[in-house]
Homo-oligomer: A and B are copies of this chain.
Amino acid sequence: MSETNTRARIMDLAQDLLREKGYTGFSYTPIAGALGVRNAAIHYHFPTKENLGEALVERERRRFLKWTGLKAIRDLDAWGKLDWFCSIYERYSQGGTRVCYLGALESSFDALPEAVQSQAQRLNLEMLAWLEEVLEAGRQAGDFRYEGRAAGRAVLIMSALQGAVQIARVTAPDNLEQAIQQIRASLR
A111-133 contacts to B (CB < 8 Å): 111, 117, 120-121, 124-125, 128
Verify B181–A152 contact, CB threshold 8 A: yes
Verify B103–A107 contact, CB threshold 8 A: yes
Interface-located stretch among A1-9, A21-29, A43-51: A21-29
Residue A178 at the chain B interface, CB threshold 8 Å:
yes
| B-contact bits for A146-166, CB 8 A (1 contact / 0 none) | 111101110110111111101
Verify B24–A21 contact, CB threshold 8 A: yes
Verify B166–A178 contact, CB threshold 8 A: no
Residue A39 at the chain B interface, CB threshold 8 Å:
no
Q: A166 with B21: in contact, given A148-B182, A151-B178, A160-B159 (CB under 8 Å)? A: no
Q: How far is it, in angstroms, between the C-alpha of A163 and the C-alpha of B103 when the chains are bound? A: 8
Q: A107 with B107: in contact, given A156-B179, A163-B161 (CB under 8 Å)? A: yes
User: Chain B's nearest CB lies how many Å from the CB of A91?
Assistant: 17
Q: Residues of B contacting A147 with CB < 8 Å?
A: 185, 188
Residue A140 at the chain B interface, CB threshold 8 Å:
no
Which 4 interchain pairs have the tightest Cβ spacing? A159-B163, A22-B108, A163-B163, A25-B111
